[in-house]
Amino acid sequence: MNLEKMFSFEEMTNEAERLVIEELGTQLEQLTGSVCLSEECVLDMAAYALNHVQPLYRVNLLGRLYAQSLGDEHKEEIRHAVADAISKVSRDK
């Protein structure tokens, strides 16, 4: 059964991506010192952090509201994952 032909999966969104990107921007703005800010580094940081947090997928508005409420519970997890990602990528570049 080819589900991709039967259903629209384009509406499926991982809210953790939005939360990680927002947190990454916040933490990078607060940093002083030399941190790699090239597109490759920032994308690596986001990918690294996303691989270390629980995904928060949603499909519709109700799902978005639910995912946002879960996002509040995961802010500390996301903060730590982003900080680790910045440290790891900055050290490796």
Cross-strand pairs, 13: 58
Q: Let me know: does 82 contact 45? Beta carbons within 8 Å.
A: yes
C-alpha radius of gyration, the chain, whole number: 15
Per-block mean pLDDT, blocks of 10 residues, the chain (93 long): 88 89 96 88 97 87 66 83 95 71
So what's the pLDDT on residue 20?
96
Per domain, the residue ranges of the chain are: 12-92
